[in-house]
Structure formats: C-alpha cells, structure tokens
Chain A
C-alpha cells in the first residue's frame, strides 16, 4: 500500500494534469524570466527605469500604473491577457521592444506576462478586469477612391491633422507640445511609416487603435463618436483605410544595390522632375550613431528613400526622407530641449537646444576598390585620418551642398569640385537631388562614377529640431550604387532565343518519353 502511494507520488509529475488545473501563469517562473530578459529596460520594480531606459525614446513601459498603449479594451481599461501576450510575442515596432516569440518558450512568455501584472494592484482587482471591445470586420473596397475620399474627409473633420499634420507625417501644429503621461516628449506618429506603428500597420490594427486610443499618450479613443453618431463604424474604418493608404502596401525591403538607369534626356536636377517616375525607389534604414561620443540613441531620421538616374555624363541622386520640421524652427525649440534632456547621451549633461539645421550626407570611398583586394572600403563612420571618405553634404540653413573629404566625424575639408544640390520641403518631407559629373578632374579625391561598377555608398541624416548635430546623427552601413550601361539589343533577344530552344528540346524529350511509354504498354498487353 505504502509502496503503491510512493510510486504514485513519484509518477505524479509525469502524469499530465487536466488543463484546468495547470496554473495559467506561474509568476515565480515569470519573475526569473523577467529578471533575466526584461529588467534591463523595464527595471527591477517594473517602473520602466532599468539601466538602459535612459537611452530610449520612447521609454520602456512602466508597469506599475498598468497603463498600456496597445489594447483591445476601451480607453483607460486594463489590457486583456491576449493583449499583453501580443506585445510580448510580436514586440512593438518602432520601439526598442523586440518580438520574444522564438526567443522565449511559450511557457516563459506566458509566465512573464503573469509576472508583469503583479506590478500593479489594478490587475488583482477583478472589478477592473475588462473584456475586449467587439470590433466589426473590415468593410471591403478599402483601397478604392471613394473609400479613401471618405476616410480623408474624416481625417479632416475629427482633427487628426492637429497632431499628425495635413499629410500625416506627424507635423501638425500641436505636435511640438506633445508629452506622454510621464512627461517625456512624444512624436505624433508619422503615418507614412505603418511598419513602425507600435500596434501593427494593417487597416484593422489602425481601426483598433482608433477605437481604443493609445493609453498613456495623447492619442484618444474615438469610440464615443460612434456612440454619439458623429460618424458610423464604417466611416471610422474608412479613416483607418485612408491612414493605411499613406504608407507603401508592404514594408520597404532593404536592397543592397541602387540601380541607376541611363536615360536619354539630361539627368534631372529638380526633385520634382517627372523623370523620377522612371527610377526605382530604394529604402535604407538609418540607426543612431552610438560608436563615438557624443552618442545618439534616438535618431529622428529613420531612413531615406533613394533614387538614381544618369545620362552618361551626369549622375542625379534623389533622396527623400520624412522630417517633421524645416529646421531650424523656433516652434520646436522646447521640444528639442525635452528630447535632449530625455535621451541620455554620454556622461556629460544634456546639451542646450540650439537652432540646428537639417542635414543629409552621402558618402563614397575616394576611389573605387581595385584589383583582387575586392571590396575593401574605408571605415563606414566617415572614414579615418589615414583613409578619408568622399562626401556630399547638404544643410537646410544655409541652404547649400558641398563636396569634401571627411577624416572621421570631427574633420571635414571641402573640395572645390562642382556639386549641385536642389531641395524642397513639403509637409514633413525633404526631397533633395544631388547632381555631379560622372568623371571629374580630381581623380585622387573624388570618386569616379563608372558605369557597370559597384560603387560603395552610405547615408547620414540629421534632424536639427530633434537636437541632432555633429555626432548626434543617424547612420547607415555601406550599400552599393550601380550605374546601368545602356542595354545592348542582344540582351533582349538572347533570352527569347534561349526560351525557344529550351521549349523545343522539352517537347522532343516529352514526345520521346510518350512514344516509349506507349510501346511498353503495347508489349505488356
């Protein structure tokens, strides 16, 4: 009898228990996961004040108030467990929060969600528990002109432009005054970058955010407007679909090589030239410069769109990027100061906000890599004293473009060569075109832009109104620029010939196989 009990006791952990008895979230195990993976940013006590937090904008979530941006519940209500799991599993795009699915086991993620809830008494109070809102399904026709027109109408009538701006790039009149609940500066979302939306970039995600609001931020809920018949549920969907339409259908894919087609006419010098419709757009993400002091952890320019064309003599490079301000802009000086005070850089205290301009730089090696050495390139971060890089630099004020040699971040010497730059600013977007002759006399310092070669290229961006200047900037790694040669006619004919030959051979093979099959069948019969 006693033996039998002992055996049972030993076996007990091996016998699967019915699901109802399995604790949904083991907060003891969850704490171990939290301490190891989460506390560095969110802090031991969950107050969003871990050692890394001071370098982040947006800051990590403070769990003690139980206020969450991305929820399926009404404004101000607690998130559901599914909401918390979504944030953990998928992360929050556009922030430092990564997706943990695949990095932590299902059990670990579930347990840590349980532990996070222990930081606030609200979760222990069952009267505060909230159910997800009942969301309607997405009405069809959401990309059609009529739907988008309705969406735009409500974009205007419910005042989205006050913060998000007329064209949705987060440059509305109230944008420079925005703070989150903790008093940190907060950017109105750039609606042209749906891949950076914290709660996801689909029309349904946007509709859900409109219904729930983003708690802890200035973004309110619009559910009351449906209750009060100011707009219908379908009209709110149209607004979500309109907002979705501002971003590309798919998140931009990073391709390594920018192809510059050769065109017959002269290379365009203006960013608004119709010739640009013939050039592909390439997206290059930028990240904060954190290698050298003063480091910068909150880059405002998150990437650049690049297009290139040449006419056999001149290269035209078109760069466009989202920037809420045409810096310097005195309306944003207070915001700039708050950003500088929020994002700790190095040991020195925050610098004083100054009316810095916006800037953009394109970087090349001085000479194309030669011989068997392959692709050896200068140091990506503006070269070095001994191995400088050739750069094109543009500033918004004074509005000018210069070429020169950079020997590290601190030193830049202009070169006399001709570089033209033309820029325009439109509702939160800079559009800039650099033009330069493919071949120049100073072959020692100025890269010679030869067709058919892989020309290393890198990009740097500064938003003056976010306090970016000098080493406080956004950087890319090296990519390539390739100037296409005019396509010889053979290129078009040979693939067609090859296809025909392949087709002919294929037919011969199939026919022969069939004939053999028929013969064999005959024999068997």
Chain B
C-alpha cells in the first residue's frame, strides 16, 4: 500500500463522514437526540360543550349519525386527559440550530363542516394544504398577527396552498360561513412540537442536548410552561395539568 493507500483511505473516510453528516442533518428526529414526552391531565368537572346546529348544511349534518357534533374548545379524553393541547419548545435551542427543510405539506381538511385536525403545527415556509372535502362553500381565514392573514373562498371540492413566514403560536383559522368552525395552527421555526392525542400524551423527539422551556397551549385554558433538560438520547417526562374553570 504505502503512502498512496493511506491518502486514499483518508479520502474515503472523509467522504463517508461528510456524506454521513450530510445525510444526518435533515433527519435529526430519526436518529438520536433527546425525547420529551408526557401527558396533559385535566382536573375538575368536564365542561359541557355546546352542540353545533348544522341544519343549514344537511350534507355535513348527515355525517354525524351517532351523536350530534359539539364544540371542540375542550376535548376531555376517556382517561381524564386533554386532547388538542399544543406542546412545543418555546426556547432553549442553540442559536446555531437550523431546522430541516420541511418535507411535504401539512394538510388541513374540512370535512363534516369541521377542521381536521383542530390543533396542529407547521414549520415556517412549509406548505399548508387546505382541503375542502365537503364540496360545499367554506371560506378559510387565517387571522395571524405576525403573519399576513388570508381569506380564501372554497365553494367546491378543492385544495389551496399557503405558507407562513414567521413563527407564531397560535394562528387562528376560521370559516365565516359556518361560525362554529375553528382551528389553531402553531407556526414554528423548528420541528419540536406535538399535539396531545386521544390518550392525552405527547412526544417530542430528536432534541439536541440542552435545557428547554416547553409550553403547553390550550385554546380555552391558556398556556403553561415547564423547564426540561435533556442530554444525549435520554427521555424526560414533562406532564402538564389544566383545571376546569
């Protein structure tokens, strides 16, 4: 081998390392990093959510055969936890942190005269695909204050795309044809956010080591924060609790 071989080996090693780095960068969540997970608990009497009268839209009304639709401002799960709580890293990321390029669009569906999902997150610059599955007139209005607003008419089955330019928690979305339709969108410069599910749990993965302020936001009960330090690939727990008002 000799000198030449050593040079070649070094070259290959550098190449592999470089490639590895290049490949790893857009996928911080997939390999390694810390995880923060927890549950959003709820205490007190479960508030009665008002029923929504969809008589004006028979097509939507027909989609609720089991029970009439109710307002989604507070969704208490069967296990006494809260769904639709937006949990995200509010601060603590190193200044040098650069978010991965967003993958595909995030889809918001209008189905049964309701938004699916009701609470969700998106990256700055990522496409929001606004889908009208109902095929009846909806207008979708975004009422951000850090982002420019928009208000688009969708009288038929169609999809419109929009993006957001600045971080904002939360951008309210609404339909004025159907005053009960509301959704909430968290726009963030990083992918470290989650929404509590039907069991009240959430998981934020792939965090670089550091000490973070985590905020849990609920549309009716406001926001709470917790401080969590993660190192390496460890998993930390951060539970939140909201009480009935």
Contact = CB atoms under 8 A, between A and B. Distances in A.
Contact of A75 (B150, B156, B165): B150
Contacts of B137: 158-159, 162
A173 B136 contact: no
Given A76-B148, A76-B149, A224 B160 contact: yes
Contacts of B148: 76-78, 122, 128
Interface in A154-177: 157-159, 162-163, 173-174, 177
Contact of B150 (A76, A128, A178, A181): A76
Interface stretch (A8-16, A37-45, A214-222): A214-222
Contact of B155 (A159, A163, A179, A219): A159
B153 A220 contact: yes
The binding surface of chain B is classed by DSSP as loop
A67 B149 CA distance: 8
B177 A159 contact: yes
Contacts of B136: 159
Interface string B147-165: 0111111111010100001
Contacts, number: 81
Contact of A219 (B145, B151, B178): B151
Contacts of B141: 218, 220
A218 B176 contact: yes
B153 A181 contact: no
A211 to B, nearest CB: 11
Interface residues of B, number: 25
B153 A174 contact: no
Describe A's contact surface by its main secondary structure. loop
A303 interface: no
B154 A174 contact: no
A268 interface: no
For chain A, give the interface size range: 20 to 34
A105 interface: no
Most chain B CB atoms below 10 A, which of A67, A127, A159, A228: A159
A75 B154 CA distance: 14
Interface in A339-392: none
B145 A162 contact: no
Contacts of A65: 145
Contacts of B179: 174, 177-179
B142 to A, nearest CB: 7
Interface of A: 65, 67, 75-78, 122, 127-128, 157-159, 162-163, 173-174, 177-179, 181, 213, 215-222, 224-225, 228, 230
